[in-house]
Structure 1
Amino acid sequence: MALSACASQRSSVVVGDAVCASPVPPRRLPLPLATPVQRETLLRAGFSPEAVHIADVIGAAGSLLASRTTNEGANGQPVFNSFANNHVALSLDRGILEVQGTEASLSCQASRIAELQAELLQQQAVISNRYHFARLAVTAGAAIAGGTAGLLSSSTIANVTTISGGGLEGLLTILQLDINPSGHLRLQQNMLEEFWRAPEIPALFPQRVWRYLNTSVNPGEPTPRENIIESWRRDQLIPDAPFTPEPPPLILKRDAIKSDELESIRLLIEPVQVRVGLMARSMGRLVEELLEQSEATALNRQAPPGRRRPAAWAQALP
């Protein structure tokens, strides 16, 4: 009876959610890329490499450069390109929305993993408890049948074998009972798989976030995606082997997942989620540098006409 009670607790747990990650609608036009000349001009204009990089990531490097181009208005005051300014602002807004959406999708998948993990741990505790009582029942019966208080001695096992009629196999079935249940993760989209395969046009990652994960501030440096995969190897979450297009089994596994495997999958998701969040910090850096330049321009306007000096960004423009 105890054994059957244990077995009845081993039914698989299924956790899934169809809304964790939805396919991202593709852009009708690709995001514009900054030319080397545009990058160099923005750097000379006083923008940091991080700000120039994030402007390129969100497809606003050209507009950022155009927004710094001025025409002389009334009383010799500079007039900025308002259309370019608006495009930079909208690109930043869109980038922030993409970061938030990606973080929400990754958090959703992590929550489903945690939910399944909690279910399996609870189930394991119940099975372990019933297994403990089942073992006590067998060993107590063996002691009585053997006429001795010795638990699981060779003579006890022989007596249990004789009494049970099922041979030693009946006892070993209980002693070797698997008390680590497994579950099924039913996620409609696997963001980790796409992160590993790195398609040119992603289906689950927005295009600006995807460009951020697959480009670096300085040419020749590892990209955030490459750094994350290397951290997985370093933390022994995936095999320390040369990169292959096919993801590691852990990333693809969805059926018969055990609690420790779920923890490893959660640890795979965590650095991706953190790195996506850092994209917002880079956009904040760009906004701060734009504000600094605007403040410098405003102060320059207040100076007497004979003492005005061109701002650094104006001197750098061709």
Structure 2
Amino acid sequence: MDLLSELAAYQANGVHATDRERIRLLELRQQLADRLLRVSYEIHSVTAEAACEEARAAHLADRLQVVQDKKVHTQTLVAIVGEAMIGIVAGGLSLAAEGVAAATMDITGGSLATGFGLAAFIEKETHQFQHRRNLLREAWEGPEHSKLFPASVWKYLTTASEDTPTLRESLVADWRQDSSLGTPGSETERQRIALFFGDGGLYTIDDLRTQAEMLESLRVAVNLMNQDLYLLSQELVFSTSVKATQSTP
């Protein structure tokens, strides 16, 4: 008989319980309270780790964004100044009646300026981002026994309720449907699956922000367990108070 079933059986005796049964009932309530507290710590352990990894990815993305913005600003200035200088030279050649040379200079200068301008917006900053202890990988693969999640949390994520999918399955479906991994069947999806659920690699800013969003969704899913724990604890407190009232002469 598990803890909750045994507790319910003892509580059902109510005022007819013997002193020994009442003592056992107190022991069971204390054991349940201790277990709820331990599970709460396990939940916070997972959510804290996910939040830390989420913040790490977001922070690196912000740093890379600053670097990229500076490069865009610099290269845009180079394109503008370069185009202006070419225009001055081309104008001088025109005044010198060197029409062909001026036209050539105009075309070349325009091409160079355009090249700098496009490079400023096409070039993407990348950086190594390692995550050998990967919570997302276990959520994605769904092993029977998790090496990273506490048993209580993993059971919560992988246990189905009637005909509904498990929380883990819902998470994976959301990642696929909202294009976090890219278009299904695409090369982008293949690359991101290998990157996000591996040990790490070369990340772009978009990759890092997507990784952070996926970690946030995992953290939110685990946090739902706190609500169920709260409801269980409230039920325990309520039933205890009712039994105490019934046993009062």
Normalising by structure 1, we get a TM-score of 0.63
Contact 2:64–2:125 (8 Å) recurs in 1: yes
Q: Distance in 1 between matches of 2:167 and 2:146?
A: 16
What is the CA-CA distance between 1:233 and the residue it aligns to? Answer: 2.6
| Greater helix proportion | 2
Given candidates 140, 148, 162, the residue that maps to 1:219 is 162
**Identity within the alignment, %:** 22
What is aligned with 1:271?
Answer: 217
When structure 1 is superposed on structure 2, of 257-266 and 191-200 the one drifting more is 257-266
Instruction: Identify unmatched segments of 5+ residues in structure 1.
Output: 1-37, 39-61, 149-154, 304-318
Taking the TM superposition and a 5 Å limit, the aligned residue runs for 1:283-294 are: 283-294=229-240
Q: Structure 1 residue 255 and structure 2 residue 201: aligned?
A: yes
Deviation at 1:109, TM superposition (A): 0.3
Matches of 1:176 and 1:132, distance apart in 2? 9
Q: Map 1:154-165; keep pairs closer than 5 Å.
A: 158-159=104-105
Matched residue, 2:43? 99
Aligned mates of 1:104, 1:256 — CA distance in 2 = 25
Q: How does 1:1-318 map to 2 (within 5 A)?
A: 62-70=2-10, 72-74=17-19, 78-147=22-91, 158-159=104-105, 174-177=116-119, 178-216=122-160, 218-239=161-182, 241=184, 248-249=193-194, 251-252=196-197, 254-303=200-249
Query: Cα distance, 1:83 vs. partner?
Result: 3.8
Question: CA RMSD for the aligned pairs?
Answer: 3.0
> 1:231 offset after TM fit, Å?
1.9
- For residues 118-157 of structure 1, what are the alpha-carbon distances to aligned partners after superposition, in whole Å with 9 as ceiling and x for unaligned? 1011001110111111102220122122218xxxxxx878
Question: Aligned pair count?
Answer: 228
| Structure 1 Cα separation of the partners of residues 218 and 173 of structure 2 | 12
Say if 1:120 and 1:63 are closer, same or farther in 2 by CA, change over 3 A.
same
Partner Cα separation in structure 1 for residue 102 and residue 57 of structure 2: 44
Q: Secondary structure at the match of 1:91?
A: helix
Q: 1:156 to 1:114 in 2, by over 3 A?
A: farther
Residue 250 to residue 77, structure 1, CA distance change in 2 (3 Å): closer
- What is the identity, as a one-letter code, of the residue corresponding to 1:273? R
Name the residue aligned to 1:57: none
Give CA deviations for 1:89-137 in whole Å, capped at 9, x if unaligned. 2211110010110011000001101110110110011101111111022
- 1:213 deviation in Å? 0.6
| 8 Å Cα contact 1:212/1:279 also seen in 2 | yes
Q: Return the offset for 1:269.
A: 1.3
Whether the aligned pair in 2 keeps the contact of 1:64 and 1:85 (CA below 8 Å) is no
Taking the aligned partners of 2:142 and 2:192, their CA distance within structure 1 comes to 11
